[in-house]
Amino acid sequence: MSRERPTAGADHPGGAMRRYHQMHGYLVQSAVPLPLAEAGPDGAPDLVLAVGEGRGVPADRVPGEAIAHRVGPAGESLYTFTRSAEGIVLRFPGVAEITADAGLRRLHAHHDPRAGEKAVGELVAGVVGAVRLLLDGRLVLHASAVVRGGAAVAFVGASGAGKSTLAALAAAEGAAVLTDDVLRVDVDGGGALAWPGPTQLHLRAGAEDLAAGAASGPGSWLVDGRYAVAAGAWTGGPVRLAACVLPRLRPAGTDLAVRPLPPPAALGALGAAPRVVGWSEPEASRRQFEGLADLCLRVPVLEADLPWGPPFPAGMADGLLAAAGL
């Protein structure tokens, strides 16, 4: 469907340069660089991001209905997402705050000076994109995914499950990165389609050496202590999702073992690793559950015991992809 070309407006104070990116099938227009694939201004954007001056972001509760809230290990607020008649506020204490309309289509962000403006881009490419998908009724997996032979495998799990590391290992062995950390999936009677998302891999401290084999450019450290690296990215559109893999990290020397999960167990495992932890909006939660149940009936969900490093066994990612059908 054709779109009208966007015009200048208040979302770009001072005539800030516009940048266009693709993310989960959305055209994103931004006043600042984002860690996303670039795109041409092909019609009206689905999401417009404006960025204001830096100012402190407190942990105080925002008035309205909380639709998501997450606390850290010491009880500190990591984020609160609140909806009111004026729209939605996404507050990340000490990092950034984003105000938006009810559909998360027009966003205005400011960063906490302690985090820097770059943090806004990381949030938009990560959890904010996942929130938009949930509000739109899309199925969202907490997953990194790679493509080989024209089909994709998703590595699904909670934070620290090894998703980005597996994507980096697969990229070093010739696969293309489809997305990192957030995966949109469209399920239909014929199976499922996996959509391209942010392809910058976020590796945890100690795994930076993986960047040497997967990187297509220099890496950088993020606010949350992870190491971001650009790997060989998939440059096409959505692809068939061949399988979802749930990594189980085992001691070095363990044999690679892959086993299918029956749909009820698969549904429980996928549901236990939401991308937006603490989400409580009922309608989006219902659609997410129904989408996961549908996915488990149409796409294999595999549990994989993986000999975990570093160092990692040569060919482990290749063997895993082969076992998943690629």
pLDDT of res. 265: 98
**Within-domain flag for 46:** yes
User: 70-84, 170-184, 216-230, 276-290: which has the minimum mean pLDDT?
Assistant: 216-230
Residues 150, 268, single domain; the answer is yes
Q: Between 247 and 116, name the one with better pLDDT.
A: 247
Instruction: Give the residue among 72, 78, 75 at the shortest CA–CA distance from 115.
Output: 78
Q: Where in the sequence is the domain holding 113, given as residue range(s)?
A: 13-136
pLDDT of res. 212: 59
**Within-domain flag for 1:** no
pLDDT of res. 5: 30
Structure-block tokens of residue 16 = 């800030």
Instruction: Name the DSSP class of 62.
Output: P
Rounded Cα distance between 155 and 242, Å, is 11
Please check the confidence at residue 217 and state whether its pLDDT lies above 70: no
Residues 194, 79, single domain; the answer is no
**Within-domain flag for 86:** yes
Please check the confidence at residue 193 and state whether its pLDDT lies above 70: yes
Question: Residues with Cβ < 8 Å from 175, sequence gap 6 or more?
Answer: 146, 147, 148, 167, 232, 317, 321, 326
Amino acid at position 93, single letter = P
Tell me what the pLDDT averaged over the chain comes to. Answer: 90
Residues 214, 242, single domain; the answer is yes
Residues 304, 175, single domain; the answer is yes
Please give the sequence-ordered ranges of beta strands (E in DSSP) within 44-190, or none if there are none.
47-51, 65-71, 77-84, 87-92, 96-100, 106-111, 139-141, 143-148, 151-156, 176-179, 183-188
Rounded Cα distance between 19 and 273, Å, is 32
Please check the confidence at residue 174 and state whether its pLDDT lies above 50: yes
Q: Between 226 and 138, name the one with better pLDDT.
A: 138
Q: Between 96 and 2, name the one with better pLDDT.
A: 96
Last residue of a domain, one of 91, 110, 136: 136
Please check the confidence at residue 45 and state whether its pLDDT lies above 90: yes
**Within-domain flag for 8:** no
Q: Where does the pLDDT of residue 8 fall: very low under 50, low under 70, confident under 90, or very high at 90 and above? A: very low
**Within-domain flag for 147:** yes
Q: Where does the pLDDT of residue 219 fall: very low under 50, low under 70, confident under 90, or very high at 90 and above? A: low
Q: What integer is the mean pLDDT of 34-46? A: 89
> The pTM is what?
0.91
Rounded to the nearest angstrom, the gap between the alpha carbon of residue 18 and the centroid of all alpha carbons in its chain is: 23
pLDDT of res. 10: 37
pLDDT tens profile 107-163: 999 999 999 898 999 999 999 999 999 999 999 999 999 999 999 999 999 998 999
Q: What integer is the mean pLDDT of 220-241? A: 83
Whether cis (ω within 30° of 0) applies to the bond prior to 35 is no
Q: What integer is the mean pLDDT of 77-82? A: 97
**Within-domain flag for 2:** no
pLDDT of res. 205: 65
Residues 165, 276, single domain; the answer is yes
C-beta separation of 307 from 250 below 8 A: yes
The domain total for the chain is 2
Q: Where does the pLDDT of residue 203 fall: very low under 50, low under 70, confident under 90, or very high at 90 and above? A: confident
Q: Where does the pLDDT of residue 13 fall: very low under 50, low under 70, confident under 90, or very high at 90 and above? A: very low
pLDDT of res. 190: 83
